[in-house]
Amino acid sequence: METFNALENFKIKGKAVNCERYGNGHINETYRAVTDTGREYILQKINKNIFKRPDQLMENIYAVCGHVSKKVTDPRGALTIINTKDGGFFYLDEGGNYWRAYDFITDSLCLEAVEYESDFYESAVGFGTFQNMLSDFDASVLHETIVNFHNTPDRYRKFREALEKDAAGRAKEVKVEIDFVLSREKDASVLTDLQNSKLLPLRVTHNDTKLNNVLFDIKTRKALCVIDLDTVMPGLAAYDFGDSIRFGASSAKEDETDLSKVNFVFNLYKIYTEGYLSACGSSLTKKEIETLPEGAKLMTLECGVRFLTDYLEGDHYFRIKYPEHNLVRCRTQFKLVSDMENRWDKMKNLVNG
């Protein structure tokens, strides 16, 4: 009933006759609604525990979607926000919950895992196209919806605080992992230093560039639309590129316990790099392209640091299925970092050639 009441406040065509949970997202509550006219919509209740300012988040999304929609030839290439009946782009109910609605993107496919190498290439084209379309957008006008989200030096600061407090009494068990993190602290500020020196431009970044955040055309299997824009905010191109590599160029799942199965797959890195640069290489600076490998390494290292920090603090941030889950996750990330370091020259030569 809550969903139908929310839908009544949006300018949808017809009356909602069905509204059911949709997708595999863990943050927001997502529903697929159908009206008596046959039109379909996505309805979402925004998780205000994660996103403290849903109004600012929606201002970002509204601005970005408006910009992208002017550049696509297929209307399915951009999310279309449905306005509320009073002209707003979100609805605030009596319980203080924030709701938004989009047109449902028809004839689209969402992949949870790469089935063919071409899928990874097309995801790169999708995120690269998104970056290219926003290359003339002033990223500084966007709100920072999650402060210091990809500020690796700040992630190190929080790690050191967690290590000093050792709230869960686990530090003595993970000396190898702690040493791994601390021995790479000098690398943490590579990108932020370049940004602060104005050598890397501020960009509109997605900040969650997983495969399942690109929709593919169900017939052609070509990248169609980038979705899940909650973390769109100012950042560096290397962040989005790097997170895609972290997630997609691994031979195993993020929580694989057998590290012998966890490897950095250089061929997938190559495929993604080619797809990404084919879509946005012309709009990136030479320095941005040169630092894409740094993005891959730092986003992987940063993610591992976050997992280890949460483990030291007693697992209060990431959802776990067993006590060592975050420790297992950090180890997979550190294995990938080590593999990248072993192929560093090759990774750099690919983007510099």
Given CA atoms 87, 91, 92, 98 in this order, what sign does their dihedral have?
Answer: negative
Closest CA to 209 of 154, 297, 276: 276
Residue with tokens 């390494």: 297
* 108-110, strands of its sheet edge to edge: 108-110, 214-217, 223-226
CB 40 within 8 A of CB 17: no
For residue 203, the surrounding DSSP H or E stretch is strand 203-205
List 226's β-bridge partners, or say none.
214
Determine the Cα–Cα distance for residues 99 and 251; give it in Å rounded to an integer: 37
Closest CA to 101 of 128, 61, 131, 133: 61
A 10 A CB-CB count for 194 gives 18
CB 234 within 8 A of CB 139: yes
The tens-digit pLDDT sequence of the chain (353 residues) is 799 999 999 999 999 999 999 987 768 999 999 999 999 999 999 998 888 899 999 999 999 999 999 999 999 999 999 999 999 999 999 999 999 999 999 999 999 888 899 999 999 999 999 999 999 999 999 999 888 999 999 999 999 999 999 999 999 999 999 999 999 999 999 999 999 999 999 999 999 999 999 999 999 999 999 999 999 999 999 999 999 999 999 999 999 999 999 999 999 999 999 999 999 999 999 999 999 999 999 999 999 999 999 999 999 988 899 999 999 999 999 999 999 999 999 999 999 87
The 8-class DSSP code of residue 35 comes to: E
Determine the Cα–Cα distance for residues 348 and 342; give it in Å rounded to an integer: 12
Q: Please tell me the total number of residues recorded for the chain in this structure.
A: 353
Determine the Cα–Cα distance for residues 276 and 241; give it in Å rounded to an integer: 8
List the end-to-end C-alpha distance of the chain, in Å, as a whole number.
Answer: 58
Vertex 189 angle, CA 188 and 190, to 5°: 100
Phi/psi at 223 (nearest 5 deg)?
A: -60, 135
Residue with tokens 């990136």: 284
